[in-house]
Structure 1
């Protein structure tokens, strides 16, 4: 009887030991091989990069020339006031790919909007809005636009965006450059949004300095 109990005890001890070793291997794997993501913070400054997207030539700033050429054929006095792009079913690889950008212009002479869509290959198409605008939008100062779209996406990733992508695959990511008022700085707003859970994570970035102005998130 004692011999049987001793064997059972040895088997149980060996089983617990093997399970413990397996758990240790899993912990070490995630600690060593998985990238770390800093927690969201509302503090200013340019964050240290952990995730870095490789910038190609098809950035928001580089494609602006095609948009400007298109809108000039419509109205020479048109001024840029918003730049935006959307990534559906986003992941890290998708965000590194060139995007289709939409440039919104305003003509003071006509008091109308004109939207230009530029594909990654540089093909531009435009459409004007027939209704007159009562309140002119704040326009983008070209000298204040120093942070391009890849840098804005990188800042979003390193301020909680990457963690959201990993936790909720297939979210929608939107990047928009806009001056909210003449006295406010030009800002990038980069947001991740999950249509199912309604979770969101938005980082507001100074488009001239790269400083994080604010973070709004529903994530814990």
Structure 2
């Protein structure tokens, strides 16, 4: 029975019993790297995480396994208050898909590792840079007590990387811009102004990001929040 006392080895052994070739094939259709995958869905992994509970030392061991599901379980069961910037910088070197990035970004936001955002954005590796903007997108939604100015301070970084043509970066840049603009009345106008500026850019990637963000920030539902 999986519980709080389960070791990393026991959890990995349990994960192996749930291996599904059919689900591995399905995952690849969604751009999930499946070379080390066992084919276990994230909802099922979250159920295991709830039974196993948080344990940071064990999460570090799970990460070292290199198995997709063990690494996802590591992110679900790591303790945010114990996660250090140095550890985040080590883990991010192993990121190889949008899925692991977005799950890790939630953890990094909860751990308040904002200082790594600039470092990750400056890194030319696609999934490291995506992490920076996934963190901004997550912080805009989940860190409701932070002042709006904290989020608005990331708009220049969004603009600086709005020309990155790589799919998983441009989508994250767009995601971050849209989430900041939807955060509050005070965030909406500056984010929309940037979106409109990008929409008029001669760069086709920046233009795509801008136009998509303008659509998202001017739809009836968003505009109706503050009228």
Q: TM-score, length-normalised on structure 1?
A: 0.22
Q: Which has the higher helix share?
A: 2
Which structure would you say has the larger RCO, counting Cα contacts within 8 Å and 6 or more residues apart?
Answer: 1
Q: Which has the higher strand share?
A: 1
Indicate the structure (1 or 2) with the bigger Cα radius of gyration. Answer: 1
